[in-house]
Copies of this chain bind each other. A is one copy, B any other.
Amino acid sequence: MPVVENAPVTITAFEWVPDFARGYVRDLRPRWACEEIGLDYAERLISAVERPDWYFGEQPFGQVPVMKDGALKIFESGAILLHLGEKDERLLPKTGQARTDALCWLFAALNSVEPYTLEVLLLKFSIDEEWAKLRLPSLAGFVEQRLDLLADALGEKEYISGRFSIADIAMATVLREALHTELVRLRPRLHDYVARCLARPAFDKALSAQLAAFNRTETQKEKSSS
C-alpha cells in the first residue's frame, strides 16, 4: 500500500466522517490514481467537523482533497487527477485522440454527470421534506435521460474512453454514489462498467486506506478517553 510517511506527495483527507460518508469522500480519487501507478503518498488528516481556518488558504471551499507534490499545491479532485495523469501513461495517454478522449470524459464526469446524480442523491436524502417529494419526479426524468445517453456512449467499451484512465476514476466514483439506486441498477451497461472499475485492485486499496484512517482516528479517541 503506498501510504508512506514523509513521501513527497501528500494527500489531505478528513480524519473522521459519519458512517454514511465513509468510503465516499473525494480523496478516494487521488488515492485510487496513486495505487494504479504505485505512487507513494503521505496522508495529512484534518477535521471535517471544525475545518481549520488556515485550510481555506489551500482549498478555497474547505473541501478535500488537496494534494502537495513537492512545492506544488493542487486542489479540486479533477485537477489532481490531471496532475497524476501527467505522471504516467497508464492514467492518461500522452498524445492524440486517446488523450483527448480521456480528458473530455474527465470533464464530462465532473460537469455533465456528477452535478445531476449528486442532486438526485441529496434530494433522496431530504425526501421527508415537501420540496424534495415534489421535485424528485422531474429531476429523476432528466437524470435518467442523461444516463441513457451515457450508457449509449459507453456502448461495448470496457472503459469510458476505451482504455482505463483518470476519466474512469472520475466517472466510476460519480456513478458509484448512485450504484444502489435504480438510476444505475436499471442500466446494466452502466452497472457492469462501475463494477468493472471497482473490481480493480487499486480501487480496493484506495478504499481500504480511506477507511483505515477513520478507524485509526476512532481508536485514538477511544484510547485518549479511556
Q: How far is the CA of A60 from the CA of B100 in the complex (A)?
A: 15
Number of A residues near B (Cβ < 8 Å) is 43
Per-position contact with B for A111-128: 1 when CB-CB < 8 Å, else 0? Answer: 110110011000000000
A187 at the interface (CB under 8 A from B): no
Which A residues between 18 and 42 are near B, CB-CB below 8 angstroms?
none
Partner of A76 from B108, B131, B132 at Cβ < 8 Å? B108
Please give the count of copies of this chain that the complex contains. Answer: 2
> What is the chain B residue whose CB lies nearest that of A108?
B76
Given A60-B152, A79-B100, A130-B131; 9 other pairs, CB 8 A cutoff: A61-B146, A61-B149, A63-B112, A72-B96, A75-B104, A78-B111, A79-B104, A83-B100, A83-B103
> What is the chain B residue whose CB lies nearest that of A119?
B119
Interface residues of A, Cβ cutoff 8 Å to B: 56, 60-63, 71-79, 82-83, 96-97, 100, 103-104, 106-108, 110-112, 114-115, 118-119, 129-135, 146, 149-150, 152-153
Determine the chain B residues whose CB is within 8 A of the CB of A146 once the complex forms: 61
Q: Are B103 and A79 in contact (CB under 8 A)?
A: yes
> What is the chain B residue whose CB lies nearest that of A112?
B61
Whole-angstrom distance from the CB of A54 to the nearest CB of chain B? 13
Determine the chain B residues whose CB is within 8 A of the CB of A74 once the complex forms: 100, 103-104
Q: Could you write out 30 A-B pairs with CB less than 8 Å apart?
A: A60-B108, A60-B149, A60-B152, A61-B149, A71-B97, A72-B96, A72-B97, A72-B100, A74-B103, A74-B104, A76-B107, A76-B111, A77-B107, A77-B111, A78-B111, A79-B103, A79-B106, A79-B108, A82-B103, A83-B103, A107-B110, A110-B110, A111-B114, A114-B115, A115-B118, A130-B131, A130-B134, A131-B132, A132-B135, A134-B134
